[in-house]
Each structure stands twice: as C-alpha cells, then as structure tokens.
Structure 1
Amino acid sequence: MDEPIVVGIDIGTTKVCTLVARVEGERTLRILGVGIEPSQGIRKGTIVDLASATQAISRSIEKAQRTSGLEITSALVSLAGSNIESYNSKGVVGISGRVIEMSDVNRALEQAQAVSPPHNREVIHIIQRGFSIDGQEGIRLPVGLHGYRLEVEAHVITASSAAVENLRKCVQASDVGVSQFVLNPLASGEVVLTDTEREMGVVVCDIGGGTSDMAIYINGDVWHTIVMPIGGNHITSDIAHGMSLSLSQAEEVKKLYGCANVEDVADSDVFTVRKFGEDRSSTVSRKELAEIINARVEEIFELLLLEIKRSGYDGLLPAGMVLTGGSSLLPGIRTVASNMLGIPVRIAGPENLLGLTDQLHSPAFSTSVGLLNWAILMNDATSVMRGSGGININLPKVDFEAIKTFFTRLLP
C-alpha cells in the first residue's frame, strides 16, 4: 500500500488497547483494527504480574490482527507509572560560523544528555524546548542559519530500566517489536491539544484508572511532565469502602450514578444497591455518593495544582487545562477541576477518525489514538532524515515543514 500503516498499543491499568490504522490524505487516520482487552497484572501503570499482563496484551494484539486482517510486527507502546522522572538540561556546541546542519542539532541534543542517568534508568524522550544561536534566544529551527555557538534547552524523560524491560518483554512475547515507548500525556496531547493552546501555555492531564499523567506545554514545546500514581481506581475503591460494596459494584455505581460536584446532585436523588451482608437492596442517596467521589477528586486536583506550582509555570498557562482519559467522563469533574485550579478547563477526546471508530471518540482512548499520531510524526521525521543522508542536509531539497514539526513536538 502507498499509505503507511501505523500501530499503537496502549497498556493501561484498566485496559489494553491495540489499534491498527492507515494514514490517508492529510494525516487522516482510518482505523483498520481494534483490540480492547481488560488489563491484568498491571497496577498503577507498572507490571506486577508478568504472565497475566502478557496474556492480556497478547489477546489485545490478536483481536487487532483479526479485525484488521494484518500481521503486527512492531508498534509504539504507551508508558506510564510512578517510575517516570524528568529533568531539564542544556547542551552547547561550537559551529565556527558556518551553516548549522542537522548533525549540529543532534550534537547539541547529545550534549544535553551528557549527564547520563543512573545505570538503573534509561532515557525515553529528549524533547527540545528551544534553541539559541550566539546568545539569541527564541529560535525554533536553527537548521540553515549561520552561527558560532548553538545551545539547546531540552526536557529529558527517563524511566526505570526494569519497568521498561518488563513491558518490552510482555509485548515481545506476542512476536511484536517495540519501535518506541511514548509517555502517556505526550501521546494524549497529540490528539486533544490545538496548536494555539500549545503556543499560549496549557496543561494536558490524562486521568486513567491507575495514574494521572500531566504535561505542561509552553511556546509549543513540552516544559514539564509528571506521572502520579492516583486515578479513577482510587475513586472506585473509596466508593467500595464507604458504601460496603464489591469493587465491581462500586465501579458500576460510579458509572451509573456518580458525580464529582456535590452541588449538581439534588437531595432527593436516590438509587438502590445491595450491600455486603444484606439480604435485599437498600436505597442510597446520590448526594452521599457524590461526597465520597468529590473528596477523592479534589485530592487529585490538589496534587496536580501542587505539581504545577512546583514546576514554576503556574503563571504561564492562559489556555488552562485540557482534561482527558477515562476518568474525565465523570460528571461534574470539569467544574471541580476549574474551581480547584483557578484556570479554564475543557474535556477532550480523539476526533477526525475514519473506519472502526465506534468507541474511540471517547476521552478514554486519547492515549491509544495519540500513539498513532506520534507514529505519523516519526514517519515524517524518518523520511526527512533519510532524504538528508542522516547527517548533511541538501538545503534546497529538505522538507522544512516536516523537520519543524519533528523538532517542535518531540525528539525520541
């Protein structure tokens, strides 16, 4: 086929979602295969039972292969968990007054990574935050400019080597190679953020079952990332304990009657449920349920607010927060988030999809679809690098738009 095929495997605490898509026209994705399987052996984004996790991932891949009619040999894989850490770094190289080439940019980024992470950690992403030439800042794409000194500010994201290797082993058990790991909020940001929001300053927050993943974008680049081990499963657990229900009952009650904002629930609203130790169903106030949910949701956004302030960028976010992930579907959560954070908040999910898209427009699949968009960016960047021989660039023939997109968004 002329159109490239892209594959993403989103391995979350709640579900494993494998997507196969064909890129059509102007970066339009036609979903060819979907494999959604409940997660097993995964807690807070980390593998805790290798055999169970391998089986869940294998079933998801098999479903995607069956629905697409294609064999999956490699894929981009999502990454989350409390083992994720990040830091900002600088790299400086000499140019000697000549034209800056791609190889110089690569050398600068390598210098930014000069401080090697500990032996038990590995670098997942090196994302440029901006370049300066001879002290002049604010340069987005230095290739083709003259200068003597090139400096890059980079955001470096690392993960536990053991956690990454366990995840890779689970995927490879299905004879599928991992072409790259992608941090959850960066994948989600590819589908829910607009270019205007990235430029102005925005937070994307993906609240899943086991983790809340956040990335701060300013001037079009990623400036800060964090993964917190708290999410929708904690809300479910609170409901189970507070109302004497099983976890499966609590999850169903949360989806059917839950609300994060107590003021949105009338005092007269009730529902029936059968609690532990009772022979018959009893009537429960929805307001009581909302109060349990509200307490945990407020805690989540209080922790997010502390992290935003700790980053030092809390005054640089006029576009507010874009909320996504399965837990963003909870009624009233946008109101609570806006009140807690004091910034505009909107909820977003994937758009502009073709093919097998029945479930995929939900915010719960932002990371899954985001992996496919990330794969498109990688394909563009690979084409540019091949066209330039990987080192020297023939300036008149280079696709500068593809290079700009690549260096503005990401550098794996």
Structure 2
Amino acid sequence: MKGEIINYNKSKIHVGLDIGNSKIACLIGQSVDNNNIQIKVLGFGQHISMGLNKGEVIDLHKLSNAISKAVEKAEEMAGLRISNITCNITGGLPFTKITCDNIEITNDIIKKEDVLNLLNLDKYKSKYEDYIQIRRKPKAFKIDYGQEVGNPIGLKSKTLTLEAINTYVNKNVISNLNKSIELCHLTVNQFYITPEINGISTMIKEERDLGAIIIDIGASLTSIGIYLKDSLIYSSFIKIGGIHITSDLVKGLGTESEEAEKLKILHGSTEVNQLDNFKNIDVNLINEKGELTSQNFPKSMLIGIIKPRVEELFELVIQNLKNSYPDYTKISKVIITGGTSNLNGISNIAKSYFNCNIRIGKPIGLLNAPDLLQSPSFSCLTGLVLKSSREQNNKWLYSFFKKLREYFFN
C-alpha cells in the first residue's frame, strides 16, 4: 500500500467486502460517536470479479488476486491497513427458514439450561446436510397453551417452544470463499447473506418493523428477502440476474458482451414511448464476414429485448414467494436494489406483479461518500459496514451463544 499511514481508533474501523459476480468491492468506514445509523467513509476500492461463478469459487487464486486489488485501493484511499472484514455470501443458494422446536421441562420450571438446550437444538441438521447454520435468532418463545412470552426463564410450564429464524449456507461454498480471503491475509469476522445486509442499508427501521420485501438483482443471481418486526424472516436466491439481460442483447443484436453491457447501462429501459421508435442507437456488432462494424437500431428494439427478461425475473420471484412464503401478499412495500434496479421503468414492471408500493433501494447512512457509492449497486457493500458498526455499538459479540447469554442472563 502506498501513501501515508494514518492512525485511527481501530475499534471504530469497520470493513465490508462485497464479493459479487461482476465486481469485488471493499469499503472502509469509521463509526460516528453516539450514532449507530451512519458511517463515515474512509476508503473505497473495487475490481472486476474473477474466479467466481454464481457466487461459487472456481479459481482460488484468481479470486484472491481480485480481492487483494480491491482491498489495496480502499487501503490507499483510507491511509490504513486492514486485517479483519465483514463479508457477504451468495453462492450455493443460501436461505432463511423459520423453524419450530419444543422440549419438555423437568419439574415444570423453565431454567437457563432449558433455554440454551432449545436454542442449540437443530432438528434440521440432517435434512440440510450440505449446509451449515450461520445464524439462529429467536422469533418467539411459547409456554403451555401456546402463550407467547418474552423471557421464559423461571416461568412454570410443562413445555417450552421456540420459533427461530435460521440462516443456512452451503458448507463448501463458505469454506472456499474463506480460503480465498485468507490468501489475502485477511480474517472474516462474520459472513452475512445479501438480503439481511440490504435490509440494513436500504430501509429505515419502521420499514423493517412493518414489513417489506427486498429484492437485489445482481449480475447472475437475484436475492429475495422479507423483513418483519425488524428481522429477516425469509430469504432465497434465484439463478437469474443482469448478466442474462446482457446475454439477450448479445444474441438479439449480434454484438459483443462488453458493447451489450454498455448499451444496457446507457440506454436500458423497460418502458417504450412514442419517440423510441424514431430514436436510433449506434451499436457496434460483428457482421457476416466476422468484421466489426456499426449499425443503427431503434431504441424500441433494445427495450423489446430487455423487457421480457425483466418480466421473467419478477415472475420467478413471485413463484418463489408463492411456493415458500404465501403470506407475502400481506406485505405492502417492495424495495428493489442491485445494479439492474437502475433500469428505467423497472419499478412499474414490479408494481404490475406486486400491486403495492415499490421503490428503488439506495444506500443510506453514509457520510463523505463519493457519488458512485450512492448507487443501488453498492447497497450490499454499505450494509456490511453498517451492520459491523451497529453490532459493535450495541456491544453484541459475534459468538452466537455469547450474544444469547448477554440477552437472557445479564
């Protein structure tokens, strides 16, 4: 790292590493005194993603090299070296599921050990043998006759039931991702799935409390999450994203991937107006002789290629929710984020499927941030830093059982 090393209070430094399928991005932030909803940006860096396919590592060294370059740029801007990070995970189709477990209580008085035993109970371990549980958060405790209680310790009951919110990730995916990061001499404090993090960076607490669906349309994956009572209660991933729109443009126009991506960013839209039939776009393409040439296409043709793929994406999201969380229809707000959410008119397409309030989710809570970071493309990156800061400000330890002991027994 070049440049002068600046001395910071290390306890206030938080680093997010967003490992995506199109880019690797690193953000170094500093928590603000007496403020757990904002973070001061110190350093930012990004690099094209390599060695990754649909969130899964296919080349350790290529991915490690890309991570190193993104981190080095952030370090140089911040004037400090980092060793610990908070990271996202998207590969292997991670998911969040609510489970219900119960135990019988000896002598009908609930003890600390009963609560811990129930919290540690994982009846679904054999069902999801290729996955590991990275998060288990109590949703509700219930005693006899289904009565919901806050803290069950000391209460009289023959049984104790726990509704818990569980997050599972693929064992091999998280292991390979961790190895790639370790090659950069970095340590992961915590992994988070994208929907959980996006809820932190794009929503205010009232939205997370009342209920909202968060949809992140990434390069090759789209994540779906549902927040209610300030907790992520459902999440899933589907294998479709912005890269599929780019691929459609390549096939439909006969151009190269780089040109198609540029067209999507500069002229991409899902809405046609009367002028689009007369507005021509200059496209570089390969002719029958294999030569690079230029040709004009009406913008309406571009939209005609993009719109069906966007509609397919939302159809798959709706089908996913219908199959796994039918109560999604009770949610009155949908937030769309990720790079593809920059497409003009995408909110209106979403509204035709959800029939509720739709908005584009941009990062909130950043101070001194460059304009680039205000884009939906960096919602996950921002959320990783905000989450790390809030965890520390709340004096919650990363260890799951230590957090629970603090919650119940202090």
Counterparts of 1:4-15 in structure 2, within 5 Å, are: 4-15=12-23
Identify the match of residue 166 of structure 1 among 153, 176, 201.
Answer: 176
User: What's the CA shift for 1:104?
Assistant: 5.5
In structure 2, list runs of 5 or more residues that go unmatched: 1-8
Using the TM superposition, name which of 66-75 and 206-215 deviates more.
Answer: 66-75
User: What's the CA shift for 1:40?
Assistant: 1.1
- Match of 1:331, SS state, is coil
Q: Please name the residue that 1:83 is paired with.
A: 93
Counterparts of 1:371-382 in structure 2, within 5 Å, are: 371-380=384-393, 382=395
Q: Alignment identity in percent?
A: 27
Identify the match of residue 23 of structure 1 among 27, 31, 44.
Answer: 31
CA separation of 1:228 and 1:67: change in aligned 2, threshold 3 A? same
- Match of 1:266, SS state, is helix
Deviations 1:265-307 (A, max 9, x none): 6322221112112664221011110010001000000000001
Deviations 1:129-179 (A, max 9, x none): 33324345555x427774534422123222221111110011011110111
Q: Please name the residue that 1:202 is paired with.
A: 212
Using the TM superposition, name which of 92-101 and 13-22 deviates more.
Answer: 92-101
Counterparts of 1:171-186 in structure 2, within 5 Å, are: 171-186=181-196
Q: Please name the residue that 2:344 is paired with.
A: 331
Paired with 1:393 and 1:127, the residues of 2 have a C-alpha distance of: 14
**Structure 2 contact 135–168 (Cα < 8 Å) conserved:** yes
Using the TM superposition, name which of 296-305 and 104-113 deviates more.
Answer: 104-113
**Structure 1 contact 240–250 (Cα < 8 Å) conserved:** yes
In structure 1, list runs of 5 or more residues that go unmatched: 399-412
CA separation of 1:220 and 1:183: change in aligned 2, threshold 3 A? same
Deviations 1:94-128 (A, max 9, x none): 48676876x66543321245644555322222233
Give yes or no for the alignment of 1:257 onto 2:270: no
CA separation of 1:315 and 1:29: change in aligned 2, threshold 3 A? closer
**Structure 2 contact 249–260 (Cα < 8 Å) conserved:** yes
Paired with 1:86 and 1:394, the residues of 2 have a C-alpha distance of: 22
Paired with 2:168 and 2:110, the residues of 1 have a C-alpha distance of: 32
- Match of 1:111, SS state, is coil
Identify the match of residue 121 of structure 2 among 111, 114, 130.
Answer: 111
Paired with 1:21 and 1:95, the residues of 2 have a C-alpha distance of: 49
Paired with 2:169 and 2:58, the residues of 1 have a C-alpha distance of: 16
Paired with 2:127 and 2:83, the residues of 1 have a C-alpha distance of: 30
Paired with 2:185 and 2:309, the residues of 1 have a C-alpha distance of: 40
Paired with 2:319 and 2:53, the residues of 1 have a C-alpha distance of: 24
Q: Please name the residue that 2:151 is paired with.
A: 142
**Structure 1 contact 58–174 (Cα < 8 Å) conserved:** yes
Paired with 2:124 and 2:252, the residues of 1 have a C-alpha distance of: 50
**Structure 1 contact 89–113 (Cα < 8 Å) conserved:** no
Give yes or no for the alignment of 1:245 onto 2:260: no
Given residue 372 of structure 1, which amino acid in structure 2 is its aligned partner?
V
Identify the match of residue 305 of structure 1 among 318, 326, 344.
Answer: 318
CA separation of 1:192 and 1:390: change in aligned 2, threshold 3 A? closer
**Structure 2 contact 201–365 (Cα < 8 Å) conserved:** no
Q: Please name the residue that 1:284 is paired with.
A: 297
CA RMSD in angstroms, aligned pairs only: 2.8
Q: Please name the residue that 1:341 is paired with.
A: 354
- Match of 1:261, SS state, is coil
Counterparts of 1:43-122 in structure 2, within 5 Å, are: 43-93=53-103, 94=105, 105-112=115-122, 115-116=125-126, 118-122=128-132
User: What's the CA shift for 1:363?
Assistant: 0.8
Given residue 315 of structure 2, which amino acid in structure 1 is its aligned partner?
E
Given residue 81 of structure 2, which amino acid in structure 1 is its aligned partner?
E
User: What's the CA shift for 1:190?
Assistant: 0.8
Give yes or no for the alignment of 1:318 onto 2:345: no
- Match of 1:70, SS state, is coil
CA separation of 1:279 and 1:188: change in aligned 2, threshold 3 A? closer
Q: Please name the residue that 2:5 is paired with.
A: none
Paired with 1:372 and 1:350, the residues of 2 have a C-alpha distance of: 11
- Match of 1:359, SS state, is helix
**Structure 2 contact 92–173 (Cα < 8 Å) conserved:** no
- TM-score in terms of structure 1 length: 0.86
Using the TM superposition, name which of 228-237 and 125-134 deviates more.
Answer: 125-134
Q: Please name the residue that 2:365 is paired with.
A: 352
Using the TM superposition, name which of 169-178 and 109-118 deviates more.
Answer: 109-118
Given residue 13 of structure 2, which amino acid in structure 1 is its aligned partner?
I
Give yes or no for the alignment of 1:365 onto 2:378: yes
Using the TM superposition, name which of 128-137 and 285-294 deviates more.
Answer: 128-137
**Structure 1 contact 202–317 (Cα < 8 Å) conserved:** no
- Match of 1:236, SS state, is helix
Deviations 1:171-197 (A, max 9, x none): 011110111110011111111123332
Counterparts of 1:261-280 in structure 2, within 5 Å, are: 261-263=271-273, 266-277=276-287, 280=293
Given residue 142 of structure 1, which amino acid in structure 2 is its aligned partner?
N
Deviations 1:188-226 (A, max 9, x none): 111112333223322101111111001112333322110
Paired with 2:275 and 2:193, the residues of 1 have a C-alpha distance of: 36
CA separation of 1:113 and 1:283: change in aligned 2, threshold 3 A? same
- TM-score in terms of structure 2 length: 0.87
